[in-house]
Structure 1
Amino acid sequence: MLHFFRNLFTGKNTTILQQALAKGAVIIDVRTPREYSQGHIKGAQNIPLNEIKLKSDIIKRWGKPVITVCRSGSRSLMAKNTLTSAGIEAYNGGAWTNLQILIG
C-alpha cells in the first residue's frame, strides 16, 4: 500500500524534493500552531505563513534549502514564493501528509 502512495508522487517534483532533502533541507510547516499540534512531519519547524516574511532573515542564516508544507499546498506555495524572493533556496512540498509519505 505504501508503495502505491509513493508512486503517486513520482516525477520531477519528487526528484527535486529528494535532492533538497539530501542537501539537508529544513522542512517548514506554515500551518497555524493548532494545526501543527494535530500532526506534523517529525523535525519540521512550525513557522506560520503570516510570520514567514518576518523570519526570512533568520531562515536565510540557516544556510540550507527549505521545503515548505501546509494542509493542501496553497499556503506552502505562498511561503515558498516569499522565501525565494528573499534569496532563499525554497521548494513547495505541498501537503505535509504527502511529503511525509515521500520521506517515509
Structure 2
Amino acid sequence: MKQVTPQEVEMLLTNKQPANIIDVREVDEVKTGKIPNAIHIPLGLLEFRMHELDKSKEYIMVCRSGGRSSMAFKLLENHGYKVINMSGGMLEWKGPVE
C-alpha cells in the first residue's frame, strides 16, 4: 500500500502542488474540520460515488486514524484508481483545517 505522512501532505499544500484529497470520515467527524479543499465522501458511500473520480488522477485517502482510509484505498485500487493512504489520519494532522 502506497502511503504518505500527514507532514508530506501538508508540504504539498504549502507548496501549492496539486493534491486530490478524499476524506472518508462521517459527516459529524468532518464538522470538526477537514483538510482544505478535501473532497468529503464517507466510506459507506465511496463505492456508489467512485464514478465521480477521475482515474487519471492520484487520490490521497484520509480518515481519523488510517483504518478506514486503508479500506478506501483497497476499494479504489481494486477498481483501477491511483491512490495513496495518509498514515495516521487526522489524528496526526497538524496543518490547517476548514
| TM-score normalised by L of structure 1 | 0.69
Higher relative contact order, chain-length normalized (CA < 8 Å, sep 6+): 2
**Over aligned residues, Cα RMSD in angstroms?**
2.4
> Pick from 6, 10, 24: which aligns with 2:18?
24
Residue aligning to 1:42: 36
- Alignment partner of 1:86 is 2:79: yes
- Hey, what does 1:5 align to over in structure 2? none
| Distance of 1:23 and 1:45 partners within structure 2 | 16
Which one has a bigger Cα radius of gyration? 1
Bigger share in helix: 1
**Alpha-carbon distance between aligned partners in 1 of 2:57 and 2:17, rounded to the nearest angstrom:** 8
Aligned to 1:3: none
Instruction: Give the TM-score of the pair, scaled to structure 2.
Output: 0.73
Matched-pair identity in %:
34
Q: Which runs of 5+ in 2 are unaligned?
A: none
Residue ranges of structure 1 left out of the alignment (5+ in a row): 1-11
